[in-house]
Structure 1
Amino acid sequence: MLKFIWNSWWRNKERFILLMVGILIVSTGLSYLLGVTQANNGTVVNELQKRWDSSYHIVVRPEGSRSVTEDLNLLEPNYMSGLEGGITREQYETVQQIADVDVAAPIAMIGSTYSSSFTQTHAFDKAGLYRLKMNTLIDTGIEKINDFQDLKAYFWVGWMPNGDSTHIGIGPTALYEEFPLSYGSDVMLAGIDPVAEAKLVGLDDAVQATEFSRYFNEEDLPEPYDEDITTIPILMSSKDYVDASINYTIEEVDVDTTDQEAFIKTYLDQGKDEYLDSLKGTEVASYDFTAQQMHDNITKHILEGTPQPQDPRVTVDYTWLAEKASPLVYEGVTSPFPKRWPYSYQIKPFLAEGQVAYGQESMYRKSNKYAEDLNDAPKVKYNYIGLFDPSKLKLSKDPLTELPMETYFPASADWVMNSKDEPVNPPTTVKPTNNPYSFLTKPPSMLTTLDAAFAIAGDKAISAIRVNVKGVDVLNEESEAKLQAVAKEIEDQTGLITDVTLGSSPQYAVTYLPGLKGESALGWIQQPWIKLGSSITIFQEAKLGFSGVVASVILVAMLYVFSSNIIMLYARKKEFAILLSLGWRPSQLSKLLFLEATILGSMVALISWMILGTFLWTAAGSTSIARILLIGLAGLLIYWLGTLIPIRLVRRIKPYETMQSGEVSKGRRLLRSRSSVGMSLNQLVTYWPRTTLSILAIALPTSLFGFFLFVTFRLQGVLYTTWIGEFVALEVGTMHYVAMGVALLIAMLTTTEIMWQNVSERKPQLAVLKSLGWQNTSIRRLVLTEGALTGFFAGLLGVTVTIIIVTIMYQKFPTSELPFLFATIFIPVVTGVMRTRRQPEKSRKTVPSRARHDRDRSRRRYHQLVRLHVSRSQTGHG
């Protein structure tokens, strides 16, 4: 029987080539597509697992603290600096006691306080009236702000006021006295739980340990200093983050002050400071320093254990907490470039309430004062206990998974477009300011204890709790389920809101900064916002998408083999009828088909093992030997399953069918054959079994490519929205697009093979048409039309199958993806037309007698088979 199979293949070389093409299609589809899919899936999971880390897993906030941005799972990078409070100690302790909580670290943004120091003094060696001018220039990256532009103060050196002259507004200064040139700024004071913070970020290890610098201990408690003043322990940051330069210019005013009474009278009569401002002056000294130098002076005294330098003109040794934390309010706006920045917002400015604050009539944050009268605000005295370096904290520094840590670092931002929507090239880094109501504020420079926070801000001092969960080290569904379960338990027991931040990744969004009152707009700021749940979303999408590709490849292979076998059965019906007329039993024909399927399936398995073995060798760990063996055996199983129905159908063939020529159909004509289109449609409908199988065999690979295309676009929609997604996309991009090319090639080769089978069996029919007077151009038009129609119907069915698969797997109708899905219809249409173009060329060489020649050839083959059977029978009897 093996020899008979080989002879049958050898006599029908064209049919044998079709079988080999089918083997390559199935083996390539099983091995390369599955191998690439498995390798890509492994790459995605491995890259996500490497970055399954963050500084904290869950953030807990007070009810009502969500902004409009979080409807899209976007967490603003500035969110923590604007949280005033709202969480009690009892709620914090409840979170700590939840079983799977490993660390619960609270942060209390207490408010904005004032810190000042000086590094430079000036001694006046000549009596007279002096003008002190101060200029503070803050570089925000967008603009340079004159925080104190030409702020003037006047000092009368060598003059001692008496009587009413003590209230004229000019400060007396003694000769040779060290006059301090001080600088102060607003800093945020934050409260922490020292034990929890040490466990979360290693704050205790970031302290610059000296004899006078240490971490918090149990004895660091808030203590009453005076009637309404509280002494609190302070751990100071070594960084200031504000790019500010300060200039002091001292001028000797050109005015005669010898006659003190006459000068004072002129001064009072002519408008006081307006009079002094109109006088010329001669510069005698100028001093320049930076905000960081001033900050370093404070930290220097902390490390040395010496008292902070005190301006002798300041009579108090405490300060006030004037403002509470205030959030930014975002409003959705149209993005200037939606493809680059799909998310865009605008900051809502607020008018300054009451007295103009920080020299501005409007601000980017709403005024949130402790009290209208500064004297009613909380008063604190600092007890500096140590200094810490933020760069030594144990934080997740991977930019692909970095979370906002505004306790220690300012939010990052870039100025990318001006107010006219013109690009800023190159983009400029935006820097924080000293203004607590500005867009980008500096992080807390002073940390105190949670006890101090409650003593100052009341029972609901905690702004947020950062939580780490036990047993979520591996990226999988179990870890995600545990995170969600812990988050829900926190919400149920405390009434607070939670967001799972583990597995999140930055995503660029732009924010428009409108002009404040009396100022022009600043333009667009780009910031890495936090896309919550990015890793698990990519993981689930990749798993679902790649699993769908695997299932589609196997399904396409099975149905393709089935369709090809049925069409081949139609083509070999006369051959099988001859064998039955010679005495073959139907069971022998079934065994023949099963043996052929076994041979072809074994060849598919061998080719698959070779290709997958290459994957295993070149990409270690991308697949396993067991999976390779199973995929190869799947090829054999596919050919076995694909031949089951042909085995049943071959038993229905009768010996008299050997006298038939071609296929016989009793179907009626659908249309009157007045054109090539009508005749082509009639041809397809008349031979509907072959047509149906042809359309099915072409449609399924087309649907595979369509589904692969959908997965690609959907994954891009998920991957290219976050930094970690873009990184993963780069890792799998090349292999994925090669796999897409293979899927497209399978669709084209399948279409080619089916068209080849169809036109090969129609040579006698074309010869009859030519004998009836058809010209070559008419035959060309007929064949091309049939190829185009078959391809169109197959493409339409393929798109329908793709839409059904997508809808079932993703539980959504792919509305936005319909254009490119329907574009896949052109693949079988174009391929069908290109393949059938060669048939009209062959028809030119076909003469009308070809139809009779084919019938005579069949008779000769019949007689050859009879003689062969008789000779074998005689040999057997002899």
Structure 2
Amino acid sequence: MLNFVWRQLRGRAGRSAALLVGVLVATTGFVVLTGATTTSRLAVTGAVERDTRAAYDILVRPKGTRTALEAERGLVRPNYLSGLFGGITTAQYDQVKAVDGVDVAAPIAMLGYSTTPIEMPIDLTDAVDRSLDRQVIRIDRAFLAERGLTHATAAPTYVYVTKHGLHYPVIGDQYYPDAVRYTDGRTYDTQDCGLTPREVLDGGRTEPVCDLRVEQGNQLTALTERQTWEVNTFRLLPNGRFEQSTAGNGPDAPASSSATRLTITLRLTVPFLLAAVDPDAEQRLVGLTDTVVTGRPLAATDTTVVTNQGGGLISRRVSVLATSRPFVDGAIRATYTRLRPGRSLAEIPPQDLTAALRGAPAVAAGGTEQDALSAYRAQLADGLSADTCCWGQLQVVVQAGQATYDQQPDGTLRVNTTAPGPDVYNGEGTLIPLPRPWLTEDTSFRPLISLRLGPGGQDARQWHAVGLFDPEKLTGFSDLGKVPLETYEPPAAQGADDRSRAALGGQPLEPSGNPAGYLSAPPLLLTTLASVPGLLANGTSPQRTAPISAIRVRVADVHGYSERSAERVRLIAERIATETGLDVDITLGSSPAPQTVELPAGAFGRPELRLTENWSALGVASAIVKAVDRKSAALFVLVLVVCVLFLGNAVSAAVRDRRPELAVLACLGWPARRIGALILGEVTALGLAAGLLSVGLAFPLGAALDIALDWRRALLAVPVALLLALVAGLAPALRGARAHPAAALRPPVAAARWVRRPRSLPGLALVNLVRAPGRTLLGAGALAIGVAALTVVAAAAYAFRGAIVGSLLGDTVSLSVRGADAMAAVATVLLGAAAVADVLYLNIRDRAAELATLRATGWTDAALRRLIGYEGLLLGALGALTGAGLGLGGAAWLVGELPPALLLVTAAVALAGMLVTCLAALVPAALLHRLPTARLLAEE
């Protein structure tokens, strides 16, 4: 059988060569062109809902930081950047800046929340009864947040006022030794009671007025400010002034001071989110320098100042811009009660103080309420002194993750609660201990982790404000750019139903000051990226190697939303994604998208609320996809389909040409399966040879086209070629095997009985095409497929300016036209034209006797060539017009419109298809002169 197959192939070398070339072209083209598209690309979907421009057009985030809601619904919650901590290296930032077309690339590194005390001075002068020898003013505190819905009582604070003498500690070179000299000239042990005054009792002896803060000091960060309490001691002097110790003001302070008013300071611990930025880039992006209202702006030269304090103590101070608006809804309500203790507080251990004062004569003495905003602004009014204003600890820095949601059947988002994380505030051994914010005991909606900056006991870290900025003056707060995607968006959520609006008093819900709470404040402390290495030195955080949380990119030459702008932004976003491997979001065209959110009840009285929160709907959501896009894959499959049609026609022709041989074999007893195996064997041999040749051609062709190929892709040519050949030869083989031997006597071309007698060459050409309808439709269909593919590609390249943007239906058509796509479409058209030429050639050969008769009756070769030319023109017109119509409809359906440019492109492609077909028809027409007229007439 193999020997017989080889003789058949060699005996019909021309036809075998044609089949071999067809399989070779299709296989090699498929392997090489798919190699050009198996690369990273940016898929863009979504609908544009906004025609104004925000502060930035592209947001670059660490890989894998998209939430489930973003992926499913294209929604982003306000201030979502506040939950991103690191993940981008400075090298990747440099890559983003280097992309051509990037106007501004502004990085931001979210570092975490610094728990900062807001001081609330209260005046107790009017609560003092100056007639009493000793008295205690008990201050009962209540903490309030979230429009007063969240409220909790706290341990009381005590103010002890005595007319008896007091001795005060004198602080020397050592700030806090175990034994301290007092103003009476004696040295006392301070381990038990701390740097507290000693009251002169009966008999001249002195005892310290102990402060419970000393007892709590070692575990201060394990307690909340609601759980801490203290004793403040004052002496009422004969002149009516109030004297107190100044031991806490440093080693150079006097031992005591006096004032006409008795004031103490309550503190509300507020977490401020610290972020690092590039000052120059931030100025260009949002005008940061122009928002400074006090002090000076950040400079690129501001870095972490490291000072060796001696004794192994290292001080790290970071310069920041602090907010002038804290965006925190918090307050303290204080109620005063005057008590008459039966004895001196110096005689009462602090742990027994509450019990000892219980039952003492009590008189209501007033009260006050102070909110965090007013207290913060009053604190700022003192100026930017290093000692009195605008500082905070960086010993314990907390990072809050993203909130998660359950989607309700009506589309409402219900916030999930999380386990509280009080241990993240554990700063035992730090030099700047502060209690935890009281709201850390409330219901948590965000996971918390601690940013480990270094050994707190020997490494003191603080921030100090060099200036104050007003966030509402930033570009992101302007009317034209106010989209919830902005970095400094003021957080607020309105009540979504009557019950919630009534509970909130018609006001929006604002952040409570709890990092684990639902609403998150934007970054309110800004330092420089240059400060980050020094701040994170000796720490264990992974942010040391990748500190940047996001990069906001503004694209040059983009002014509001348009197709041109969107395409320009997309191309630059794709380059950024390809070069950095990071997640990229195209924020151009984003718009507010209010969402209904159910917030579960809190632990301190706040009821469940139904809120309307202003989220963002991404105008164009982008993602990296590593695959051949569907349009490219469809084009390459079309190459194979057209090749199958071409080969199927060619194998069918070979079978028809050998009908007498196959009939003889059948008469000699060959079974149908053996005849079918003979035909498939010939085709398989040609496919195998074409596949092997394709492996060798793929590499030089790929190198010439600058397309990288590997051996695995090149070896794919062998099975592709075999499959192609078998699919093309299967139907002809079955038909040839089942044919009756008498069928060899029938004419190869049927008569078109329903067609009237033609009176012109075009009419005769039409009759000739109708006489072989299957062959005609096969050739026209192959050409139509190629023309339709080329129409879609040309429409994307010209009618839509290089890309089909914005309103794509999923991934059906890729965003931009690659050279490989155009090559595939052109190759499909050329294969279709070759199929037409093959149809004409087969028609000429099958009608050779008829054509010889026409020549014998006086027809010239020119007339016969015109006849063949008309057949080619009609066949080409049928395929080209059908394909152009399909391509026009497909392109218009994909983009939702039918612009005039698309009609022009379609017409141009149809004419090009017809022209190529007419040129292909010249080859079979030129073979007419080789017809053996005398022999054919003799055979007839």
TM-score by length of 2: 0.46
TM-score by length of 1: 0.49
Greater helix share, 1 or 2?
1
